[in-house]
Structure 1
């Protein structure tokens, strides 16, 4: 029996990337109502337009939209085999835009452009910046974002690629958020059914909201979630390799943390129903099965949208912690983060305006 290793792929290592190259990722994914139901089962998200077809149609959607983060994770999952299969860690996000809603029946595909490369001083790894875009079956962009990831080198002696660190905006401008959802009928936005009487005008910059609830992360759930997105990163699945790593166990996919924090934020932000942009995000510390996640949010900014009197935009900083409730809003300690903090996410969410 012969073996042909050339027919399999070990994924890209840091020295395999080239600045400016565009990567077309494999395996388009058609999202179904089954995907949406499984996502709800995994995270318990309760935002009304994504949960109820009747509610979505009443306010002006043609159908109930797929949860924004489900679409994000599916696009992210497409990129893993080509970008982060050999990652040490996913480090952060910026300049993310949700340009139009995704519905059951839409097929998502993805491309990534390498926009930054920098070898680490230890010569064992380097940081790769990519701008990834997700498209529907009509070739329309529905999501794009920048992320940077630390990727192992295959050979520490290999010559590093050209160094370039991109400059990224601190936040997506409010004028760019209007396309994220169709015009809604704010009169039909039933506050009793949505779960909160608080609309855009009820939030003020500087306000902090403890989302109160906590959720313990289960091994089976994070494994199912990551497979749902077709994310094949070794750090999440392969105990044979990760058991020998610096943590001695598999890491929870960072997107799993984001979705759990977003679901927890319903308690206090139930009418912030649609994510329009991700300004920045950092996975501050690892999360493992058995940890309990809590979250709190700060209203950083509020913005009226040009030409829109139906929705306004809330710029939110959501912070997730492990094994520590958030009544005292933990975030920073000295020059770094408080040791229980695992996620800091800065994003824009749309909320209905008052009549």
Structure 2
């Protein structure tokens, strides 16, 4: 019997199955530096230890999405090594800031299975939880992924599709202990816009674009120890291309959103997300945001904005999310719904 890991196929999963993923990963200041080298991020809290301390966060946390990528990468060898595509996210909460020196470990529970009608693939739903070295939950989330079957003749399992919340309620948003925006330094942060300056329905064109490259997205994916074959091996896809990791697009779009949302300092939760089309090296991506909701929080000086972050292949000045048929418009790569914490 081979000692190597071929990954799990659709028929290897069972509802209720719990998987403890290898390998624990310690976050370092080097991770922060490499993240900043790959993505044009300029948010003040993860960029400046002095700024983070001034709002009650000492030591300075790393970007929430860095913690998400690391924790997500742990799940790939067991959940999505044989995936066709990662389809969506829901109910993601960033429970506490992750700081250099924290070690993240991830486990997942299979909460749903549904074979596709053609019988060659199926959708696997998992709830994943990342804990730190003290056993505290750092973040948790649900995702669903389309996975190949090993044997197309294998019997389909009973379909179980979990009921998931459309949005993390404002009352359930995790707020970092000690967070205080009452003496917020708007000059250091880079923009004057605060909670009350944003209106529901407002759209913000983030203007700038970034062209994706193979070396950068493969470096990022290796940094998160994500072993999915489609990101590295040109023989893993029929068209001979490397698929850009969806998280790479999320982080790039989030970094681009600084222009217009510089004070959306912390991501508290991801309500929903979908990679609506594949991204490849050579694609130039842009981003825009829409304000979906606003909410007060109990933390001093802190409000929450519910934002839709959209990444597009090529410039879309019209900022259309869907076409006349209700499908995602051509060129839309990412549709992400999240809560961000901003100064009031």
Q: Does TM, normalized by the shorter one, top 0.5?
A: yes
Q: Which residue number corresponds to residue 125 of structure 2?
A: 129
User: Which of 222, 234, 250 in structure 2 is aligned with 1:239?
Assistant: 234
Matched, 1:229 2:220: no
Alignment partner of 2:51: what SS? helix
User: Which of 241, 248, 255 in structure 2 is aligned with 1:256?
Assistant: 248
Instruction: Using structure 1 for the length normalisation, give the TM-score.
Output: 0.95
Alignment partner of 1:255: what SS? helix
Q: Which residue number corresponds to residue 40 of structure 2?
A: 44
Instruction: Using structure 2 for the length normalisation, give the TM-score.
Output: 0.98
Q: Which residue number corresponds to residue 352 of structure 1?
A: 343
Q: Which residue number corresponds to residue 265 of structure 1?
A: 257
Q: Which residue number corresponds to residue 200 of structure 1?
A: 195
| Cα pair 2:181 2:300 within 8 Å, conserved | no
CA distance in 1, matches of 2:290, 2:70: 27
What is the count of residue pairs matched by the alignment?
A: 343
- Gaps of at least 5 residues in structure 1 are none
Matched, 1:190 2:185: yes
| Deviates most, 272-281 or 335-344 | 335-344
Query: How far did 1:162 drift?
Result: 2.8
Residues 89-142 of structure 1: CA distance to partner in whole angstroms, max 9, x if unpaired? 000001110111000000000000000000001100000000001100000001
- Gaps of at least 5 residues in structure 2 are none
What pairs up with 1:325-344 in 2 under 5 angstroms? 325-335=315-325, 336-344=327-335
User: Which of 140, 144, 152 in structure 2 is aligned with 1:156?
Assistant: 152
Residues 69-96 of structure 1: CA distance to partner in whole angstroms, max 9, x if unpaired? 0000000000000000000000000111
CA distance in 2, matches of 1:185, 1:297: 25
What pairs up with 1:1-355 in 2 under 5 angstroms? 5=2, 7-177=3-173, 179-242=174-237, 245=238, 247-305=239-297, 307-323=298-314, 325-335=315-325, 336-353=327-344
| Cα pair 2:109 2:126 within 8 Å, conserved | yes
Alignment partner of 1:204: what SS? coil
| Cα pair 2:87 2:274 within 8 Å, conserved | yes
